[in-house]
Structure 1
Amino acid sequence: MSYRTLLTHAQPYGASDLRVEAAAALAIDLDAVLVGLAAESLPVYAISDPYGMAAPQLTSILVEQQTKNLEDAHKRFQEHAGSARQAWRSIRDLPTPSLARAARSADLILVGGVTAEAQDKNYAVNTGELILTAGRPVLVVPPSGGRLAAKKVLIAWKDSRESRRAVYDSLPFLLGADEVMILGVGAAEDAESLHFETTDVAEQLKRHGVKSCRPTVAPATGGGVEDEILSQIDGFGADLVVAGGYGHSRATEWVLGGVTRTLLHLPDRFVLLSH
């Protein structure tokens, strides 16, 4: 298994420059193609007024600006992707579902950690929703960008479908890592089962050729599971965190699990999440 096609959301006016550079560096390291996708939708008020009639002048202005935005996104993508092998897509639609549909031809999606609660869905990707709908692993790039070495990988383990999926989806990174920690965090009464599970995963990964797998069990202290995972990430010095992406649909929105939401806001780590 290898990542042959990477997909990232390209935005205008510098919003995605560091992420594109990180994606391009990874594409070069993996000898993969990097697909940039710009997507932008018109606001609802531009499509119809309260009487169901479009406002032609306003719509024309917004379409013109939309065109400029998509063109600038393409220009900046080409510039910041540099020497990586590139492909381009531009769509006049909402970014999150557009990226999810485009995932059919990608092995890995790279986005930022913003969940978009406070952002306009016409322009920004809701990372949480994308994780839960794309059907592909999502690599969250830290705000500062950077080059992913993936030499020390921490797997935040939970015996669930999502976690098992994430472990398999991250195999190309795990195979190149120098150290891999399989971390199970839980109550004292769960320690024995967590030890069995993490050891099981370590043995399976070793059969794939993954080096130096370290099963680790830690208690959920007063700060809860999230705080213990963060402490272990820092103590281990992980440059990549792998975890299941948890959440569910409620009415018209997607609601994320606590650990997933915490990992989306890590300021200085790459995080791979699968649902």
Structure 2
Amino acid sequence: MGYLSFQLSNLKHFNSFRLLQTATTGLLLGRAWQHLFWDAPYREFLWDEYWMKNVVSMVLGLSWSEYVGNPLYDERIQLFSQGIGWFYLLAAGAALGIQWLPSLARPILTTSSGTLLILALIVWKEQGWQIGQLLEQSLQWTTPLLLAVSSKGAIPEQWIRYGTRVAISSTFIGHGLYALGYYPIPGNFLEMTMRSLSIGEDPARQFLFLIGILDVLAALGVLWPRYFKTAIFIYLIAWGLLTSLARVWGYFSFDFIENWLQMWVYELLIRFPHFLVPCFLWLRERK
């Protein structure tokens, strides 16, 4: 009986690791797609006169108008963005092959977490330093790091689970603050809700307010999962999945299916951690 329990425990551990691996691979593939075929907001920082004027003057020896008016530097920013995209593609391969080449894959994944954190900080700046935006990005940059430390075996299981709880909680609190209207509700939140549910603006706002309350309650509950644990995890997984699918469902069109694939599938991929990481944690908690 003890051997059977041990085997079942190992199976849950293996399955949870696969979930985390899938979340990381999807996230990195989505970011690679974004950087290679669309754009990333690096110009928000690199073209900010307040932050970069002195750097440009000291490093490049140019005035600010010479810097921003020279198309060569815009091309270099684009090449830099594409280079990061190729790196994310490499990191996705590292996530897939971490069982076979762990000593090579772990530093690549750890570095990808660092670059994703930088991207999250730039998006935070772009959104006017709203703390909710930074919190909402938590799973985006921590997931590859979680995969790297989970594969190592030297990190205590309790630390991994606690770090995962914090990342999930932060993401859902950030989302909840926008849904509640603590910050102005983003236009894409409203639009996706209206398109997905075929409702008007006022019902969409009321629906988002309710979801915001549930987001915050679930985010607090996952930190101390003593009561209603199953209900909390079901909500986190279901709502994480639905909000991810809303990007592809709400904007689907047979007439523009090629544009739809290019514009929205990567938005789904980068949100794989929003429902797969809660699945990962739930299996670890049940083990």
TM bucket (normalised to shorter chain) is: under 0.3
Q: Indicate the structure with greater strand content.
A: 1
TM-score w.r.t. length of structure 1 = 0.27
Q: Indicate the structure with greater helix content.
A: 2
TM-score w.r.t. length of structure 2 = 0.27
Q: Which has the higher contact order (CA 8 A, sep 6+)?
A: 2
